[in-house]
Structure 1
């Protein structure tokens, strides 16, 4: 039996409790397979009978068979992860960088470059340590072409104060992996309410998030996992290439 297929086949019959149980089982099959019926029920704050009824809905005889299927699913996931780690990192990275160049060539940068010309100060804010490194690279790139760039500390208060201190036509670059940082979203909305002259530019991962929707200009980069990592580490090479392309094109615009 394929547990994932059984879930898809019978999902229309699930109630809210079933959905909560299934969500945990599919996300953590190994941990769930090691729990007793009572332990699993206590962990999910459901009754033992709710788990038993779900097993029946999935076409299983009971909890013992469900535990077996969870063990099978664990093995399948491990096999898929091993296969994914065996994929050619070099080929993936080359493909992403080629897609980044293609994506860049399709951008209309006239308005952005005009706003950069008018900006006295460019502020840069990042939402994680890897993004902080990208922020430093971006600031250095602006320095090389004669633009003043200030990296804001990764603190909420710094963003809060920005709306009251910036000058007209200044710009804020936000670098975020997912683009869904709730705290920063709230502060960006406040900034817009206080100073709607500040131009916001976002650099986020490929899936557009809420930060991108608030931005005057939004740019996207792709990532790919490092083959040797077991901690979900990814390479941000695409972001650096995107910055290089932007700076090179802006340099041409400035006649540098």
Structure 2
């Protein structure tokens, strides 16, 4: 990532040959890290001095320092990828462990007996999870009505009764935009199941509703992507939980 960031920083200092050479290097980092300056110059049909000037335009003292940075980039990306796999395995284990420790019988009873099941996702990924939930449960004749927008949720809320079930999927459980609605549902004894990230301590949604399930998200360090700074979060475990909820419900009912 360092090389890409330096190219963005010093882009205006680079000529067309520099940019073509760097484009090749970015796409062939592993090959280039084994090349000498002569090898790279020959391959790119440039002089050694042209390659050296290019590296200095990027702030390096010379080709050796440039190559060391390139090698560090490759090592960092490999470690980060391995770290992701480790974190993903741990997050899945944590999600499933917490799921198994939860008393799901009342949740399944509510799903089975509800006159209407509604579901609301507070964000883009959460709404996708609602669609997956809807698709799964439709196969066992449990229709879920997905509320795709806040206004739709507010309109539908007045029709919820204690014979229904509402499922809310939220990352943090912070629901300021619908907090008054949730309090009114609690007052009316409308059953609500929250599905939220277990990392958030101030999970207001989970404290207000009777049924809770948790997934473990994965947060990564800040990265530069083009001209933007991003803080990537993996919600893959949310979909693991959605699948686990459905199949556990299905198999438990099959056993009866």
Above 0.5 in TM-score?
yes
**Match for residue 145 of structure 2 among 132, 140, 150:** 150
Contact 2:186/2:209, CA 8 A, preserved across alignment: no
Alpha-carbon offset, residue 226 of structure 1: 5.5
Q: Deviations over 1:87-141 (max 9, x none)?
A: 7111110111111122222121111111111112210101111111111111111
Return the alpha-carbon distance in structure 1 between the equivalents of residues 126 and 86 of structure 2: 24
Return the alpha-carbon distance in structure 1 between the equivalents of residues 121 and 250 of structure 2: 24
Alpha-carbon offset, residue 158 of structure 1: 2.4
Any idea what SS the aligned residue of 2:115 has? coil
Gaps of 5+ in 2: 1-75
Any idea what SS the aligned residue of 1:89 has? helix
Residue of structure 2 in register with 1:97 after alignment: 92
Provide TM-score, normalisation by structure 1: 0.61
Return the alpha-carbon distance in structure 1 between the equivalents of residues 154 and 184 of structure 2: 8
Number of corresponding residues: 171
- The residue correspondences of 1:134-145 to structure 2 (distance < 5 A) are 134-145=129-140
Q: Deviations over 1:167-213 (max 9, x none)?
A: 442111111111012012122112333x32x2100011112501001
Return the alpha-carbon distance in structure 2 between the equivalents of residues 107 and 240 of structure 1: 18
Contact 2:117/2:165, CA 8 A, preserved across alignment: yes
Residue of structure 2 in register with 1:183 after alignment: 177
- Which stretches of structure 1, 4 residues or more, deviate above 6 A after TM superposition? none
**Match for residue 205 of structure 2 among 194, 211, 214:** 211
Q: CA RMSD in A?
A: 2.3
**Match for residue 108 of structure 2 among 107, 113, 128:** 113
Change (3 A) 1:141 1:226: farther
Q: Deviations over 1:195-237 (max 9, x none)?
A: 32x2100011112501001111011111113677641221111
- The residue correspondences of 1:9-158 to structure 2 (distance < 5 A) are 86=80, 88-155=83-150, 157-158=151-152
Return the alpha-carbon distance in structure 2 between the equivalents of residues 163 and 131 of structure 1: 19
Return the alpha-carbon distance in structure 1 between the equivalents of residues 195 and 162 of structure 2: 22
Rg: which structure is higher?
2
Return the alpha-carbon distance in structure 2 between the equivalents of residues 186 and 226 of structure 1: 33
Contact 1:128/1:176, CA 8 A, preserved across alignment: yes
Return the alpha-carbon distance in structure 2 between the equivalents of residues 150 and 89 of structure 1: 35
Residue of structure 2 in register with 1:199 after alignment: 191
Residue of structure 1 in register with 2:253 after alignment: 254
Contact 2:186/2:208, CA 8 A, preserved across alignment: no
